[in-house]
Amino acid sequence: MILERLAGVLGALPSPPTADELRRHTPTIGQAPAGTPRPRWSVMIPTYNCAGYLRRALDSVLRQDPGADTMDIDVVDDCSTADDPAAVVAELAPDRVRFIQHEANCGATATFNTCLQHARGHWVHLLHGDDFVLEGFYRECEQLIRGHPAVVMIGGKVVTVDEDDRWLALIGPDARFAGGIYPDFVRQQAVEQLFQFAGVAVRRDAYERTGGFCTFFRHVADWDMWFRIGQLGPVACTRRPYGAFRLHAASDTNLQKVGGTNVLEEYLCMRINLARLSPAPDGDEAARWRKRVARRAYRNARKFRAAGSVEGRLNQAR
């Protein structure tokens, strides 16, 4: 959609969507039905053509499973066409994991919202089907919740891994805030993605208050969401990395970068977030975030050049 708005306007920067347009693309997340059992956790695993990695994701959760009274585990598939995630669920935990499937492909952001609608737990962990979570994540989240009862979101550094689970790098927030509250989270999240899905847990009632993931976005829906969640209350950081964020050529993240959608959406998300801040940023701050987007695009172009992707290199440079 965003690229279509730029068709024939090479070099032009798009105008951000209006507040009304954003509201139309942000679904309401209703409360869990009255009388429904409410476990502590809902681990929701969205999938699309990644059943080869789903076994690793499910196993990483099941190894930490405290039992059905404490945790729901659901796999929500966006009508996969290249593999069979239902078979993976049936193989690993047919009586423990619920499998839900869209009747037609709806896209990643809409699938996240389906996950939220089906989640019954007081806390929700959205874990992509090609990522996984390291031992101790839920235990540490419980400790942070007990120590900081007002927190609305917990996140932290994550490990990036390749197709074979080899560790590549650590990414995420400032390590100085590990094990406590992240000061001024909203202002920094406005211009920088601090948390990746695999290492994030959010109170379900926070999603109810702010609404679902905005379907205007494909690449930065989480960036926008964490900013909105952060406006509701304190955000805590885990002491160490627990999420494993997989980088591979077939991932949705990589495909967005090949097409250049990531640059456009980052630009739009930053403009929207900065407009929501109070006090508004000055001109110097606005110049800094524009340079940050440009530098990221330049680094991505170099990576695509090294990988031999002409399409990715040219779209990032453009």
Radius of gyration of the chain (CA): 19
pTM to 2 decimals?
Answer: 0.89
Query: What pLDDT, on the 0 to 100 scale, is given for residue 314?
Result: 78
Query: What pLDDT, on the 0 to 100 scale, is given for residue 7?
Result: 40
How far, in whole angstroms, is CA 231 from its chain's centroid?
17
Are 6 and 261 a contacting pair, CB within 8 Å? no
Percentage of the chain beyond pLDDT 90 is: 68
Query: What pLDDT, on the 0 to 100 scale, is given for residue 304?
Result: 76
Tens of pLDDT along 214-231?
A: 999 988 999 999 999 999
**Tokens 């874990």 label which residue?**
127
Query: What are the CB-based long-range contacts (under 8 Å, 24+) for 191-195?
Result: 191/270, 191/273, 191/274, 191/288, 191/289, 191/292, 192/292, 193/220, 193/222, 193/223, 193/226, 194/155, 194/226, 195/153, 195/155, 195/156, 195/158, 195/222, 195/226
DSSP assignment, residue 176?
Answer: G
Query: What pLDDT, on the 0 to 100 scale, is given for residue 8?
Result: 42
Sign of CA dihedral 171, 172, 176, 177: negative
Burial class from Cβ neighbours inside 10 Å (0-12, 13-18, 19+) for residue 44 reads buried
Query: What pLDDT, on the 0 to 100 scale, is given for residue 9?
Result: 41
**Closest-CA residue to 220 (of 281, 267, 255):** 267
Compute φ and ψ for 54, nearest 5 degrees: -60, -35
Interatomic CA distance for residues 166 and 146, integer angstroms: 33
| Strand bridging mode 158-161 / 167-171 | antiparallel
Question: Which pLDDT band holds residue 106 (cuts at 50, 70, 90)?
Answer: very high
Are 224 and 217 a contacting pair, CB within 8 Å? yes
Across-strand partners of 76?
Answer: 46, 100
The three-point CA angle 16-22-27 to 5° equals 155
DSSP assignment, residue 181?
Answer: B
pLDDT exceeds cutoff 70 at 5: no
Query: What pLDDT, on the 0 to 100 scale, is given for residue 240?
Result: 95
Tens of pLDDT along 125-164?
A: 999 999 999 999 999 999 999 999 999 999 999 999 999 9
CB atoms within 10 A of CB 205: 15
- Report which of residues 34 and 250 the model is more confident about: 34
The predicted model gives 254-275 an average pLDDT of 79
**Closest-CA residue to 199 (of 149, 140, 133, 254):** 133
Are 241 and 156 a contacting pair, CB within 8 Å? yes
Q: Give the start-end residues of each E strand in the chain.
A: 41-47, 71-77, 98-101, 123-126, 132-133, 153-155, 158-161, 167-171, 201-203, 235-237, 243-246
Supply the mean pLDDT for the chain.
Answer: 90
Tens of pLDDT along 158-186?
A: 999 999 999 999 999 988 898 999 999 99
Are 208 and 182 a contacting pair, CB within 8 Å? no
Interatomic CA distance for residues 36 and 100, integer angstroms: 18
